Amino acid sequence: MEKLICPSLMCTDLTNIGDEVRSLDAAGADIFHMDVMDGSFVANMALGVEDYKAVRSLTKTKMDVHLMVNNPKNMVPIFADLGADIIYIHPEADTMPTITLADIRRRGIQPGIAVNPGTSVATIKELLPLVDYVLVMTVNPGFAGQTYLDFVDPKIQELVALSKQYDYQVMVDGAISPAKIKSLSKVGVRGFIVGTSALFGKAESYQTLIPRLKED
């Protein structure tokens, strides 16, 4: 199964976004990952509407939006209109996540849920038939540069096992190093959100790094 390498654009040089997106595209990036934070559901604030619009105008590559916001249902129409291909919500942030996920799919967008380190599979299992992607957070969401939380590994394995029944892709996000990509792909993880641990701020070019990350 081919790995999906998904650059987290929160970690890129936003002052040079045109060149960055074109370079990542040329290197074979599979999905551009866009973190939207409201300063309430998570303490930080990050990418917004104008950032999303700018990136969408630069590429035809798939783009997701990771809504780290309270009441994500209110933002679904905004990012749907901006051309999002995948929308992730945090179930804890939505009073009726089943309705929001159905609304995402009704708009022709692939729905996903993001699962925090402290969120158990048992609490989100009913949502698994409704999604195309499950994004497992391997750090506490909100800030780049954290340390990978190893206690999440059994949950990843459980969600990979359930994916065979419910037909979704397992993705991981947070301190994803080249070594983690190798080990987690072996247990069935399909996609990897990559930031400073594997891609950005390195001496080598994206054209060298991304193909290497996709190797077995």
Domain harbouring 83, CATH code: 3.20.20.70
| 8 A C-beta contact, residue 213 and residue 195 | no
pLDDT in tens, 35-75: 999 998 988 899 999 999 999 999 999 999 999 999 999 99
Residue 81: active-site member: no
Percentage of residues of the chain with pLDDT beyond 90: 93
* Beta-carbon contacts of residue 143 (< 8 Å; ≥ 6 apart): 43, 44
129-158: average pLDDT: 94
The catalytically annotated residue of 30, 35, 38, 94 is 35
Annotation says 103 is catalytic: no
Task: Indicate the pLDDT class of residue 203, thresholds 50, 70 and 90.
Answer: very high
Tens of pLDDT, residue by residue over 73-88, are 999 999 999 999 999 9
Range of the domain at 157: 4-214
Answer whether residue 120 shows pLDDT above 80.
Answer: yes
Of 13, 38, 173, 216, catalytic: 173
Domain count of the fold of the chain: 1
**pLDDT score at 157:** 98
Q: What does each C-alpha distance from 65 to 57, 83, 187, 191, 207 come to in angstroms?
A: 15, 10, 25, 15, 24
d(CA 18, CA 8): 15
Whole-prediction pTM value?
Answer: 0.97
